[in-house]
Amino acid sequence: MSETPQTNPYRDMMGKAFANAIPLNAQFEITYRCNHLCTFCYNSPTGQRELTTPQIFEALKKMADFGVLYLTLTGGEAMCHKDFWAIAAETRRLGMALRVYSNGFLLGDKKVVNRLAKLGPHEVEISLHGARPESHEALTHIKGSFDKTVQALDNLVEAGIKVNLKCPITKLNQDELIGVRDIGEKRGLFVTFDPVITPKDDGNQDPLSLRPDDAFFERYWGELYQELHHGKLPPRANHCAAEGSEANCGTARSGFTIDPYGNILPCVAFRRQVANILEIDSLERIWRTSPVLNEVRDLAVQASDELRKHKDGQYFQFCLGVAEVQTGDPLGIYPQAEVNAGAVRKTYELLQIEDKNDGRKSA
């Protein structure tokens, strides 16, 4: 009656959920509080009152009733919420699989990790911003944060918790990505690098000054990506899009985001307000009837159509949210996406030339 994942039934099921816009994931930003001061952080608190803990519980119940399978607690730094433990326990009690996104600082303490392990989290994603204290802390502005985060990786692995390590690529760490990979791989972790720095949620473009220059990205997609990933070729679509889907990505489809004020958003990057979770009876109804969500779903399909017209269309990783804050148009092609797509195309072209020359296989 059942199959394990990685076989086709699992992919088929995920594909069906995607095609029918049945969301399996929700990201819940439970607070904007944080113990780091990352220069580039996209969070843009407005000064409104954040949800209280009983309101967070109410929101969790609505998400569980809606059938959310994977609930991610994030922020800000979710672990800085005064009731983080009660919220995480409630997530599990409601039957949802718990993911935590964290900077790892508090998880540098074994006792904290053991407490987390007791909740049976599905996985934890940790951000690391360099392979050395100097580079990591140049971004976080917290002395000692590198050691804590690396210690967190050891603690989590020791406690048997699945960890993914992620690293947004900045000018501060662009020359030590192999070192970051090695920190992860030494511990048996899956490591991902994010090649896009986004503006702040309020439209402030300051974070973009930390983006490496175009020449770096030519090199990144041309050589470094394969070196980092042991010969794997660069992706040619968004990681959150199901194979063969007509939508560019999973916004308003595979999941949604709730911000610390309770606003329901199509995804973490595309922050159009749908409704407030406290003001609705059922997520199911709003999910199917919201004009905002329906428009965003249509836009994600239009984005695919538009990209197909671009000369590098098949190589694009494109985010409608980044497009909207950067160009004012969710379908507007922003420079980072274009540079990346051009560099990925060149990589594939080069591999085909090599194919002809020496018979080596490419994608």
Ligand X SMILES: C[S@@+](CC[C@H](N)C(=O)[O-])C[C@H]1O[C@@H](n2cnc3c(N)ncnc32)[C@H](O)[C@@H]1O
Interface contacts to ligand X, rule CB under 6 A: 34, 40-43, 74-75, 77, 101-103, 127, 166, 168, 194, 197-198, 207
Q: Which residues, 6 or more positions from 71, have their beta carbon under 8 angstroms from its beta carbon?
A: 25, 26, 28, 60, 63, 91, 96, 97, 98, 99
Does residue 38 bind ligand SF4 (CB under 6 A)? yes
User: What gap in Å lies between CA 119 and CA 98, rounded to an integer?
Assistant: 9
Phi and psi for 273 in degrees, rounded to 5?
-75, 130
Amino acid at residue number 343: A
Smallest distance from ligand X to CB 194, Å: 6
- Between the two ends of the chain, the Cα-to-Cα distance in Å is 35
Q: 190 is in the binding site of which of ligand X, another protein, ligand SF4, none (Cβ under 5 to 8 A by kind)?
A: none
Smallest distance from ligand SF4 to CB 99, Å: 15
Give the β-pairing of 163-168 and 190-194: parallel
Contact track, ligand SF4, 50-79, x by CB under 6 A: -------------------------xxx--
Does residue 260 bind ligand SF4 (CB under 6 A)? no
Query: Binding residues for another protein, per CB under 8 A?
Result: 1-5, 9-10, 13, 16-17, 20, 22, 24, 67-70, 92-93, 95-98, 117, 120-123, 161-162
Q: 189 is in the binding site of which of ligand SF4, ligand X, another protein, none (Cβ under 5 to 8 A by kind)?
A: none
Amino acid at residue number 25: N
Cβ contact 228:178 at 8 Å: yes
Does residue 135 bind ligand SF4 (CB under 6 A)? no
Smallest distance from another protein to CB 144, Å: 30
Smallest distance from ligand SF4 to CB 141, Å: 9
Interior CA angle at 84 toward 82 and 89, to 5°? 140
Q: Which residues, 6 or more positions from 326, have their beta carbon under 8 angstroms from its beta carbon?
A: 199, 205, 332, 334, 335
> 255: which strand partners?
25, 251
Smallest distance from ligand SF4 to CB 39, Å: 9
User: What gap in Å lies between CA 68 and CA 258, rounded to an integer?
Assistant: 13
Nearer of residues 103 and 347 to ligand SF4, judged by Cβ: 103
Nearer of residues 43 and 151 to ligand SF4, judged by Cβ: 43
Q: Helix, strand or coil for residue 349?
A: helix
Nearer of residues 2 and 289 to another protein, judged by Cβ: 2
Q: 123 is in the binding site of which of ligand X, ligand SF4, another protein, none (Cβ under 5 to 8 A by kind)?
A: another protein
Q: How many residues bind ligand SF4 (CB under 6 A)?
A: 9
Burial class (CB in 10 A: 0-12, 13-18, 19+), 332: middle
Smallest distance from another protein to CB 333, Å: 34
| Residues in contact with ligand SF4 by the rule CB under 6 A | 34, 36, 38, 41, 43, 75-77, 103
